[in-house]
C-alpha cells in the first residue's frame, strides 16, 4: 500500500495546505515573466489546472493499469509506477527554484498517473498474493492506505511541519519518500501467483 493507494491519498490531501502560497508563486512568476500582474481569474484558472490535472493523470494511469499488469506483471508495474512519482517530486520540488509554475502542473499530472496505476494494481496484487482466508482483510488495505495517505498529507501540511511559505516545494515533493521506500522493499516480495500461472504459464513459479 505504500506505493499503491497511499500515494493517491497523500496527493489528494497534500495540495490543500500550500494553496495560497502556490497562488502567490503563480502571481510572482507571471509578474517577472510578463511584467504585469495576472488577473484574479487567470490565477484561479492556473490553480484549477494544478488541482484538476491530477485527475487527468489518474485517468491515464487507470486506463493503462490493466494492460501493463498483464504485460509486465503486477509487481513490476508497481515498481514502474514509482518512476513518474519520483519525476513528479523532482518537478514540483524544483519549481520555485526554476521559477516555473508549469512544473507543478506537469508534476501533478505525473503523480496522478502514479496514483491511478497504484490504486488499481494495489488491490489486484495484494488480493492475488493473499491466502484465501485473508483475502477480504487484504482488500481493506486499499481503504486503509488511502486514509493513511490523507492523514499523512494533512499532517505534513500543518504550519508546524511543512505548511509554510519557505517549505511548500518540499511538501509537494513529499511523495518521493513512499516511492523510494517501495523501490527498496518491493523487489523482495513475490510475484502474483495468478500472473505467473495464467499469463506466464509458469506452474512451478506459481507453486
Residue 99 is assigned to a structural domain of this protein: yes
| CATH code of residue 165 | 1.20.1250.20
Total domains present in the chain:
1
> What percent of the chain stands above pLDDT 90?
81
- The chain-wide mean pLDDT, for the chain, equals 93
As a whole number of angstroms, the distance between CA 65 and CA 61 comes to 6
Residue 115 is assigned to a structural domain of this protein: yes
Query: For 136-145, what is the mean pLDDT?
Result: 89
Nearest to 172 by CA among 81, 83, 110, 80: 110
- Residue 63 three-state SS: helix
Residue 204 is assigned to a structural domain of this protein: no
Mind listing the pLDDT tens digit for each residue in 59-74?
A: 999 999 999 999 999 9
* Residue 4 or 155, more confident: 155
pTM: 0.92
Residue 155 is assigned to a structural domain of this protein: yes
Query: For 77-99, what is the mean pLDDT?
Result: 95
**Cβ neighbour number for residue 73 with a 10 Å cutoff:** 19
Q: What is the pLDDT of residue 4?
A: 83
| Residues of the domain holding 49 | 3-199
Q: How buried is 50 (Cβ within 10 angstroms: 0-12 exposed, 13-18 middle, 19+ buried)? A: buried
Q: What is the pLDDT of residue 155?
A: 94
Residue 32 is assigned to a structural domain of this protein: yes
Mind listing the pLDDT tens digit for each residue in 23-60?
A: 999 999 999 999 999 999 999 999 999 999 999 999 99
Amino acid at each position: 500500500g505504500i506505493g499503491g493507494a497511499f500515494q493517491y491519498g497523500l496527493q489528494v490531501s497534500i495540495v490543500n495546505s500550500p494553496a495560497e502560497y502556490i497562488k502567490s508563486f503563480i502571481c510572482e512568476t507571471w509578474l517577472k515573466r510578463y511584467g504585469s500582474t495576472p488577473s484574479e481569474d487567470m490565477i484561479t484558472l492556473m490553480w484549477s489546472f494544478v488541482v484538476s490535472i491530477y485527475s487527468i493523470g489518474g485517468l491515464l494511469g487507470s486506463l493503462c493499469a490493466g494492460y501493463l499488469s498483464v504485460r509486465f506483471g503486477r509487481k513490476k508495474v508497481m515498481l514502474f509506477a514509482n518512476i513518474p512519482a519520483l519525476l513528479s517530486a523532482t518537478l514540483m520540488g524544483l519549481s520555485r527554484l526554476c521559477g516555473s509554475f508549469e512544473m507543478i502542473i506537469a508534476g501533478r499530472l505525473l503523480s496522478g498517473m502514479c496514483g491511478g496505476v497504484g490504486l488499481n494494481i494495489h488491490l489486484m496484487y495484494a488480493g492475488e498474493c493473499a491466502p484465501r482466508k485473508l483475502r477480504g482483510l487484504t482488500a481493506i488495505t486499499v481503504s486503509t492506505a488511502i486514509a493513511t495517505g490523507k492523514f499523512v498529507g494533512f499532517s505534513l501540511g500543518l504550519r508546524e511541519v511543512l505548511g509554510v511559505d519557505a517549505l511548500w516545494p518540499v511538501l509537494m515533493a513529499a511523495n518521493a519518500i513512499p516511492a523510494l521506500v517501495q523501490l527498496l522493499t518491493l523487489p523482495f516480495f513475490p510475484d502474483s501467483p495468478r500472473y505467473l500461472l495464467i499469463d506466464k504459464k509458469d506452474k512451478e513459479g506459481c507453486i
